[in-house]
Structure formats: C-alpha cells, structure tokens
C-alpha cells in the first residue's frame, strides 16, 4: 500500500493515538485485500453502539464506550480516547427500541446503556439515524461519490440504485473511516469492477414488492457475489421494491451491485452495463425459478398457526406504513399474535403525524424504531412460527432464533396477524 504524506503522518501518530490505530487497521485491511492505496471518503455508514448482547458486556468494562470503539471499531486491544469524527458518519440500526424495551426483553439498565451510548455517539458527531436504510432519511449519496458503508442491503442500494461507490465495509473499517476519512481503494470504488458479469433474462412480469424479493433471492442464489444485469423488466420499480430486491439478493448470495437495463444509473443500455466485458453466463427467470425461490426461502416453515408477524426488513418506508395501516384499519389482531413493524425513528414521527400509528396501534400492532428482530434478537415470548414480508428476514431469523418462518406478501402477513393462521401461497 502506498500512502500519501497526510496518511503517512496519521500512521506515524501525528494526529493522535486513535487516528494512528485507525490508519494501522486500514493498512492491514488494505494489504489483506491487495489494495494499492486509500481513497478519500466523506460519507460513512457504520455502527459504534454497544446494545447487542455481546457488546453490552463489553461496555461495562473499564474504558466504557472508548473501549468498545477501540476493540470493535479499530481492532485495538489498547484503549484509545476517541476524537470527533472527520467524515459525515451515520449510525446504522442498533440492538433495541428503547420505547419498547420491555416487550423486546431488554432490561432497564441496558436501556440506560443504550441512551448513554447514543449520547456518546452523537457527541462524536455521528448522526443517530439508527436504521439499515440511511438513504431514506438524509444520507443519499450521489453518483460517483466514494462511500464507506456497511449493511449489505444499504450497500447494494448505494452502488446499484444511486450509482455511488462502496464496498461492503464492516464495523471496524467504518470506525477507522469515520476518524480518518479514508478507505481502501479497491473493488467497487474502481470503474473496471462495476460492470456486469451475468445476464439475467426476466421472462415474467415482476411488479409487486414480493415479486421483486423473489427475483432478488433467486438471482443471489445463482450469481452469489457477482454482478447481475437484468433485462426484460417491464415495470419500473420504486424504492420499496428495490430495497426488497437488494436485501434478498445480498442475503441469498452476496450481491453488492446489480444493473437494471434502462433503469439504474450505470446501465442506460445493455452494452454500457457490461462495458468491455462479456457475460460469463445467462440466466432465465420464469415461473419455475420464481417457485424455486419461494420454496427455498420457506424451507423452515411447516406449521400454519403463527404467533408473530414482523414487517419492516429493511426498515419500512412511509409508503409501506401507509399500506399496512390501510390493511389494518378497523381490524384487531388475533389474541395469540403480535405484529411489530420496524422503521426509522424519523419515519415513525411522520407516521404519528399522518395518523397511521394510531390506526396500527388500534389494531393491536406496534411500530418500533432503531432496530429489528434480528438485530435485537427480539421476538415476542412464545413465538414458534413467524411470518415476514421480507425474504431477508425469512432467510436469517429462523436460523438465529430457532423458529419456523413463512415468507408471504404484506397482505398475507397482515391476514395471518388477524386470523392467527398463515394462509399465504405463491399465486
């Protein structure tokens, strides 16, 4: 790795021990990658909180949040005092909603830890968006902007829909990037790595949010971490649809970038999507492949009686909350079922203002913020079977919590929450 004078000075400790540790980590990381240099970034999305179960114990140790940041954001066993961040840094989802801590099984002293951690983070200059969807609430990078983001569903959105440039960073590299404004110049930062690798010929109508999830899950399963180029999209999607598509493709595989011909910014044409490269394979997506994705994601599901419906993975948009409110208006949840909807705090305040929160709560459901079931490892007591309108949550949560999980449309899920029985099927 070649460093410029400023970077060299950081590594030599001219800007203090925390910056020195940050630059040391970036050097080790860059060399592991085989990168040749760093690139400046002013846009970082990461996580520095200590609310997930393992971190909580760590935050109780001497050094408190500085010790957490040193170990988990700088890979430094030596505790350094953390200075204010240099880059515009936004915080991703955390390990609880403090307003629903009891329901989420979180003890009051842990809520205090969360509040102290948030105050500490905002004191550093970190924006407490506390969401997996920073692009919904004020961090919308422009085409070509170099970013250092973690959260796979946000990374794929950043690269593909916005045309900004980020690799899938981790907790440690985003911590180092916040302090230094640097990240290895490698992978998706470079033009030549952003072209498509696989052609996906979409033979059927893909229109609903559920359809986009099924398509993403199938494509991710096939291309793994390569770059699919989708041709034959007959209906221009919207934010929730691409949010779901990307989250699904990055869960079943490791897709960090895709192109939709004629839709996404680096694919005005098929030729521009592949650039100088030829597709290594062509994949067809029809009814059989759609059915296959549905069966794969529902691999854990057997029993139709459900106890939990979770919506908002990735965090719901205001449009999705509006839709959920319309489906729930005038209804009551089945007494054995809980329905939790997850969204950024900013969007919940909009839902409050629009009256959706009242409608949803009148039905017996809750709107929660700052976290999700998978991050908080929080599901209602006694849950054996859950239903999701998210391929990502259906992929992860059953394994993490030892439950069965159904994937269905939002309508299927809300119907299940009201009836107590998941009646969804692939239509």
Partner 1 sequence: MSAAMNAGLDAGRAPGEKIILRGRKVVGGCCEGEALVTRDRVSGWGGIDPSTGTIIETRHQLRGQSFKGKVLVFPGAKGSSGWSNQFHIARLAGTAPAAMLFNEMTTKIALGAVVTHAPAMTDFDRDPLQVIETGDWVRVDADRGVVEVTKKR
> What distance in Å separates the CA atoms of residue 120 and residue 110, rounded to the nearest whole number?
15
CA angle, residues 24, 30, 31, in degrees to nearest 5? 95
Token readout for 350 is 């909009």
Binding residues for partner 1 (CB under 8 A)? 25, 28-29, 32-34, 54, 71-72, 75, 150-152, 155, 167-173, 184, 186-187, 224-225, 250-251, 253-254, 296, 299-300, 374, 395-396, 398-400
Task: In angstroms, give the least distance from the CB of 255 to partner 1.
Answer: 9
Least separation in angstroms between residue 105's CB and partner 1 is 18
Whole-Å CA distances, 188 to 136, 294, 421: 22, 30, 44
Question: Shortest approach of partner 1 to residue 67 CB, angstroms?
Answer: 12
Looking at beta carbons only, is 73 or 307 nearer to partner 1? 73
Minimum CB distance to partner 1 smaller for 297 or for 321: 297
Choice between 176 and 416, CB closer to partner 1:
176
How far apart are CB 331 and partner 1 at their closest, in Å?
32
Residue 224: partners with Cβ closer than 8 Å, 6 or more residues away: 253, 254, 255
For 340, the 3-state DSSP assignment is strand
CB atoms within 10 A of CB 197: 17
- Residue 352 has φ and ψ, to the nearest 5°, of -60, -50
Tokens (6 digits) for 273: 């999507």
- Minimum CB–partner distance for residue 13 and partner 1 (Å): 20
Tell me how far, at minimum, the Cβ of 36 lies from partner 1, in Å: 14
Neighbours of 20 (CB within 10 A): 21
CB 348 within 8 A of CB 323: no
Q: How far is the CB of 110 from partner 1 (least distance, A)?
A: 18
Cα separation, 255 vs 246, whole angstroms: 8
Q: How far is the CB of 191 from partner 1 (least distance, A)?
A: 17
Closest CB to partner 1 among 71 and 412?
Answer: 71
60 or 349, CB closer to partner 1? Answer: 60
Strand arrangement, sheet containing 228-231: 259-260, 228-231, 198-202, 281-285
CA distance 297 to 294: 5
CB of 295 to partner 1, least distance (A): 11
Question: Residue 188 or residue 212: which is nearer to partner 1 going by CB?
Answer: 188
Closest to partner 1 by CB, 95 vs 202, is 95
Q: Which two tokens stand for residue 338?
A: 């809980």
In this complex, which beta carbon is closest to partner 1, that of residue 168 or of residue 357? 168
**How much is the CA Rg of the chain, to the nearest whole Å?**
22
Return the percent helix, strand and coil in the chain, to nearest 5: 45, 15, 40
Asked if 93 and 132 touch (Cβ cutoff 8 Å), the reply is yes
């Amino acid at each position: 790795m070649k460093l410029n004078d400023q970077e060299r000075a950081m590594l030599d400790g001219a800007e203090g021990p925390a910056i020195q540790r940050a630059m040391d980590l970036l050097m080790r990381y860059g060399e592991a990658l085989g990168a040749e240099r760093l690139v400046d970034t002013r846009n970082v999305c990461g996580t520095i909180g200590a609310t997930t179960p393992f971190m909580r114990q760590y935050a109780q140790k001497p050094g408190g949040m500085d010790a957490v940041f040193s170990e988990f954001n700088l890979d430094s066993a030596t505790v350094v005092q953390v200075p204010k961040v240099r880059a515009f840094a936004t915080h991703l989802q955390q390990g609880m909603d403090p307003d629903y801590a009891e329901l989420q099984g979180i003890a009051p002293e842990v809520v205090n830890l969360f509040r102290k951690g948030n105050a500490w983070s905002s004191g550093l200059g970190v924006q407490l968006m506390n969401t997996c969807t920073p692009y919904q609430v004020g961090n919308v990078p422009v085409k070509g902007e170099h970013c250092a983001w973690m959260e796979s569903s946000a990374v794929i959105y950043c690269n593909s829909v916005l045309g900004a440039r980020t690799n899938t960073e981790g907790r440690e590299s985003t911590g180092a990037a916040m302090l230094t404004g640097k990240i290895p110049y490698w992978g998706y930062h470079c033009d030549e790595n952003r072209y498509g690798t696989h052609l996906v010929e979409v033979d059927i109508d893909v229109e609903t949010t559920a359809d986009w999830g099924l398509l993403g899950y199938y494509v991710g399963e096939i291309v793994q971490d390569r770059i699919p180029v989708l041709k034959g999209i007959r209906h221009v999607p919207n934010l929730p649809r691409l949010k779901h598509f990307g989250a699904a493709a990055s869960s079943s595989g490791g897709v960090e970038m895709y192109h939709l011909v004629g839709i996404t910014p680096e694919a005005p044409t098929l030729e521009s999507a592949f650039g100088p490269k030829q597709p290594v394979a062509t994949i067809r997506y029809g009814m059989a492949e759609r059915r296959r994705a549905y069966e794969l994601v529902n691999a854990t599901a057997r029993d139709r009686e459900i106890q939990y419906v979770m919506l908002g993975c990735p965090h719901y948009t205001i449009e999705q909350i509006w839709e959920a409110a319309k489906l729930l208006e005038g209804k009551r949840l089945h007494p054995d079922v809980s329905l939790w909807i997850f969204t950024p705090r900013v969007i919940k305040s909009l839902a409050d203002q629009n009256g959706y929160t009242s409608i949803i709560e009148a039905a017996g459901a809750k709107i929660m913020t700052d976290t999700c079931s998978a991050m908080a490892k929080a599901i209602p007591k006694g849950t054996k079977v859950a239903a999701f309108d998210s391929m990502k949550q259906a992929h992860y949560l059953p394994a993490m919590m030892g439950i069965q999980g159904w994937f269905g449309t939002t309508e299927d899920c809300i119907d299940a929450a009201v009836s107590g029985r998941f009646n969804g099927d692939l239509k």
